[in-house]
C-alpha cells in the first residue's frame, strides 16, 4: 500500500512531517526575502554614499581651485604693496596694510579648512551608517556559505577602503576597556570583567589625528 491510510486519510506522522517541511520551507523563504531586502537597502545606501563622496570631491576641487585664485590675487596684491612701499614715504601705513592682508589670508585659510573638514566628517558619518547596515546584516546571516554573506562582505570592504582613503579607520572590539571619549554605552549587562566591552553594537570611526567622527556604540560589562 501507499503512504495513505485506508480510505485516503493521511497518517498523522506523515501529516506532521509534511507540515514541518512546509514550515521549514516558508521560514527559509522568509529568511531569503529578509536577506535580499537587507542587501538591497545596503546597496542603495552605498550608492547614496558614493554620490555624496563624488559631490564632496567636486566641492573639494572647487575649494582648491578657489584657493589657487585667491593665492594668486594675494601674491599680486603683495607685489603691488611692495612697489608702493618702495615709493611711498609713509612706510608705517604700508606695513599696516600688509598686516591686514596677512590677517585676511589667515582667516580665509581657516574658513576653507573648516568647510573641508566639516564636509569630510559629514561624509564619513554617512559611510558609517551604511556600514552599520551591512554590519547588522552580516550578524543576522553568519553563514559564510550564503551568497548574501559574500556580497555583504564585499560591500563592507569597499566601504572600509573608502574610509581609509579619507584617512579614517573603524575601531571598537569586545574586551576593550570602556572609554567615554571614544565609546558610547547603549546598555550594561553582567560580565566577568566590569568596565569592559561585552559587545559592539556599531563600530566607531576616527580620523588619523584621533578625531572621533562617531563613537563606537557598545554594551558594557557591569
The three cell numbers locating residue 13: 506522522
Give the DSSP H/E element, type plus range, for residue 171: strand 168-171
Segment 209-219 shows an average pLDDT of 91
| pLDDT tens digits, one per residue of 171-194 | 999 999 999 999 999 999 888 888
Nine-digit cell string for 2: 501507499
- 5 has a pLDDT exceeding 50: no
pTM greater than 0.75 = no
Residue 193 contacts by C-beta under 8 Å, 6 or more apart in sequence? Answer: 175, 221
Which residues share a beta bridge with 136?
none
Residues 29-38 have pLDDT tens digits of 677 677 667 6
Helices (H), 88-146: 91-140
Q: How far apart are CA 150 and CA 138, in angstroms?
A: 9
Confidence band for 53, pLDDT divided at 50, 70 and 90: low
User: What CA–CA distance (Å, rounded) separates 11 from 21?
Assistant: 15
Euclidean distance between CA atoms 129 and 28, whole angstroms: 28
Per-residue pLDDT at 109 exceeds 70:
yes
Of 182, 187, 201, 184, nearest to 135 by C-alpha is 201
Q: Is 61 helix (H, G, I), strand (E, B) or coil?
A: helix
The three three-digit cell numbers of residue 72, written as one number: 594668486
Alpha-carbon distance of 150 to 175, in angstroms, equals 27
Contacts of residue 42, defined as CB under 8 A and 6 or more positions apart, other chains included, come to: 130, 133, 134, 137, 152, 155
* Nine-digit cell string for 17: 512531517
Evaluate if residue 211 carries a pLDDT over 70. yes
Can you tell me the distance from the alpha carbon of 75 to that of 59, in angstroms, rounded to the nearest whole number?
24
Mean pLDDT across the stretch 205-220?
Answer: 91
- Average pLDDT over the chain, rounded to whole? 76
DSSP state at residue 197: E
Q: How confident is the model at residue 220 (pLDDT cuts 50, 70, 90)?
A: very high
Q: How confident is the model at residue 39 (pLDDT cuts 50, 70, 90)?
A: low
Q: What whole-number distance in Å separates Cα of residue 180 and Cα of residue 29?
A: 42
Q: What is the spatial distance between Cα 79 and Cα 16, in angstroms, rounded to a whole number?
A: 93
Amino acid at each position: 500500500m501507499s503512504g495513505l491510510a485506508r480510505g485516503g486519510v493521511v497518517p498523522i506522522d506523515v501529516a506532521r512531517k509534511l507540515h514541518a517541511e512546509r514550515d521549514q520551507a516558508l521560514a527559509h523563504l522568509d529568511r531569503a526575502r529578509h536577506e535580499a531586502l537587507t542587501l538591497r537597502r545596503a546597496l542603495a545606501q552605498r550608492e547614496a554614499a558614493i554620490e555624496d563622496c563624488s559631490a564632496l570631491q567636486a566641492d573639494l576641487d572647487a575649494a582648491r581651485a578657489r584657493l589657487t585664485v585667491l593665492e594668486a590675487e594675494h601674491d599680486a596684491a603683495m607685489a603691488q604693496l611692495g612697489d608702493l612701499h618702495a615709493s611711498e614715504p609713509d612706510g608705517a601705513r604700508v606695513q599696516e596694510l600688509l598686516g591686514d592682508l596677512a590677517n585676511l589670508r589667515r582667516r580665509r585659510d581657516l574658513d576653507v579648512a573648516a568647510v573641508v573638514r566639516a564636509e569630510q566628517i559629514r561624509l564619513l558619518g554617512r559611510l558609517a551608517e551604511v556600514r552599520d547596515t551591512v554590519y547588522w546584516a552580516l550578524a543576522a546571516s553568519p553563514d559564510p556559505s550564503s551568497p548574501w554573506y559574500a556580497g555583504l562582505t564585499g560591500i563592507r570592504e569597499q566601504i572600509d577602503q573608502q574610509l581609509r582613503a579619507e584617512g579614517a579607520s573603524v575601531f571598537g572590539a569586545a574586551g576593550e576597556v570602556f572609554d567615554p571619549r571614544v565609546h558610547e554605552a547603549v546598555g550594561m549587562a553582567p560580565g566577568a570583567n566590569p568596565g569592559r566591552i561585552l559587545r559592539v553594537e556599531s563600530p566607531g570611526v576616527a580620523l588619523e589625528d584621533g578625531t572621533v567622527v562617531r563613537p563606537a556604540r557598545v554594551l558594557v560589562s557591569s
